Chain A
């Protein structure tokens, strides 16, 4: 096992963990959705990279070629991309509604808003 034989897996793991970190650590809801998107695209890589064969070509059958990459992950990820953008759009619509209801999209301020003893008078 050399460095480059597993480099694609490690980059995928780094991207997934960076996305997870943004979702956990950043308070802004739009930034959180960007983190979620990064996590999602890293999974595309996890599926597509093992299907590649160096020296092969895209899976469009022609007599001139013998070696093709695996078409099945491509089909799965095509579906995943479209579903991903649908969920992203729904998430953004929720963010817009939250902003209109509370006037902010920062998690800390939203939690302060939701706390039962919210409001200036009950706090010193």
Chain B
């Protein structure tokens, strides 16, 4: 039953992406991307990744969509009709995809409890994590306790991106002031 739910949601995501690739109106593209992100968040709930699902719904579907709509407002653009049929990119992506599918054939099946991912590092965190950190949610325990420095590094990335955006958009304001 769980597998059926996951597979249905995954199929819906495929449909959303196919429609998205064929749509030329950018507003519709961005709304479809938001829909795709919400479907992804739902898949994450079905995959028992509740913390990630919350973040994806808030950040992926919420903030990303708002940022894209803001950029679209500033650009006021419609995608131009492509000059020629994209046969070469289609061939390249299809070939890459086939090679990747060939690579998955040896991978463990979906939800195989004997897969290496479930037998090596994770049990240690699941068994000792709550006792060592006092936090029942293992994701929080790893994120904030065991791997706190990684999260600090992540904040640095976000800070750098923010500084870059301010540098780019500040120049723009100064230019428009000079122009008038």
Give me the interface of A with B, judged by CB distance under 8 Å: 1, 4-11, 13-22, 24-28, 30-31, 33-35, 37-38, 41, 44-45, 48-62, 67-75, 77-79, 81-90, 92-97, 99-100, 104-106, 108-109
> In the complex, which range does the number of interface residues on chain B fall in?
35 or more
CA distance A51 to B67 in the complex (A): 31
In the complex, the answer to whether B80 meets A18 with C-beta atoms within 8 Å is no
Known: A16-B100, A75-B139, A93-B71. 16 other contacts (CB 8 A): A4-B110, A6-B104, A14-B97, A21-B21, A21-B89, A25-B89, A26-B79, A28-B79, A30-B26, A34-B29, A62-B136, A72-B122, A78-B52, A83-B158, A84-B60, A96-B71
Q: Are A81 and B59 in contact (CB under 8 A)?
A: yes
What separation, in Å, do the CA atoms of A79 and B149 have in the docked complex? 12
- Of B104, B137, B150, B160, which is within 8 A of A60 by CB? B137
Tell me whether B48 is interfacial, beta carbon within 8 Å.
Answer: yes
Contact sample, A vs B, 24 pairs, CB 8 Å cutoff: A1-B105, A7-B10, A9-B104, A11-B13, A14-B17, A22-B20, A24-B86, A25-B90, A34-B33, A38-B17, A41-B36, A51-B47, A51-B48, A59-B48, A72-B121, A78-B55, A79-B154, A88-B64, A88-B67, A93-B164, A96-B74, A97-B168, A99-B75, A99-B77
Contacts of A73 in B (CB 8 A): 49, 117
**What residues of A have a CB within 8 angstroms of the CB of B17 in the complex?**
14-15, 18-19, 38
Q: A30-B71, A77-B49 are in contact. Are A50 and B101 (CB under 8 A)?
A: no
Which single residue of chain A is at the shortest CB-CB distance from B99?
A: A13
**Chain A interface mostly helix, strand, loop or mixed?**
helix
Residues of A within 8 A of B126 (CB): 59, 61, 68, 71
Cβ contact within 8 Å between B122 and A71: yes
Instruction: Tell whether, in the assembled complex, residue A58 and residue B50 are in contact, meaning their CB atoms are under 8 Å apart.
Output: yes
